[in-house]
């Protein structure tokens, strides 16, 4: 029985490399995967999922108007899809998550979605909210704060300063975001000094 998996964490926990590893494992066994990524994430080359450690793989890009179910059905007619993998699922819309549910429930194909849970203001993204609502399995991928505690928050850094205001979606990497434990997110400490 296929399930919808939501695997979340803060930044720098290895979500993209985990997705790439899962895709490799399926393909190594002769299975076909549909790998998706939101086009809003333009940190690296569009059409690819890229891990911070430099490993990448090709992905189909989706935007807010994309119909994932239709894309899946089209690709599945070309060759049987055994698994759907999605990076940066926090950028999905409600209808995207409902389309993923349909893939799982009607087509009996597992869907593994990787992404952030909360933004830099500690609020849920739309995609994260609906993944929490609809997912069959919710799994945390852990990483640590600079102090060694488990990181559960993402801080946005602008001009070297911790900010808690601004647009929810501003795509960036280590130059703009840091994962912190709740204590250091709340007190605004970005490091030992």
Where residue 39 sits, what CATH number does that domain have?
Answer: 3.40.50.300
- 10: which DSSP letter? S
Whole-number average pLDDT of the chain:
90
Q: What radius of gyration, in Å, describes the C-alpha atoms of the chain?
A: 17
Query: Does residue 147 lie in a domain region?
Result: no
Q: Is 192 tagged catalytic?
A: no
pLDDT at 147: 94
CA 98, CA 130: separation in Å to the nearest integer? 8
Structure-model confidence comparison of residues 170 and 179, the more confident one: 179
- 91: which DSSP letter? G
Q: How many domains does the chain have?
A: 1
Span 65-90, average pLDDT? 96
Domain of residue 71: give its range: 4-142
CA 147, CA 184: separation in Å to the nearest integer? 9
- Of residues 18, 88, 123, 139, which has the active-site annotation? 88
pLDDT at 40: 77
């Amino acid at each position: 029985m296929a399930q919808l998996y939501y695997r979340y964490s803060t930044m720098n926990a290895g979500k993209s490399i985990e997705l790439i590893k899962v895709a490799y494992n399926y393909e190594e066994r002769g299975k076909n995967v549909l790998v998706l990524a939101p086009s809003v994430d333009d940190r690296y080359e569009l059409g690819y999922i890229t891990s911070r450690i430099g490993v990448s793989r090709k992905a189909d890009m989706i935007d807010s108007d994309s119909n994932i179910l239709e894309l899946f059905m089209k690709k599945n007619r070309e060759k049987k899809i055994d698994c759907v993998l999605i990076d940066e699922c926090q950028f999905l819309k409600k209808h995207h998550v409902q389309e993923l549910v349909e893939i799982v429930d009607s087509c009996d194909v597992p869907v593994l979605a990787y992404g952030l849970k909360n933004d830099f203001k500690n609020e849920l993204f739309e995609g994260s909210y609906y993944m929490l609502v609809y997912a069959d399995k919710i799994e945390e991928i852990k990483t640590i704060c600079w102090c060694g505690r488990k990181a559960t928050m993402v801080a946005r850094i602008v001009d070297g300063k911790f900010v808690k205001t601004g647009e929810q979606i501003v795509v960036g990497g280590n130059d703009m975001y840091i994962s912190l434990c709740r204590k250091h997110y709340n007190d605004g400490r970005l490091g030992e000094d």
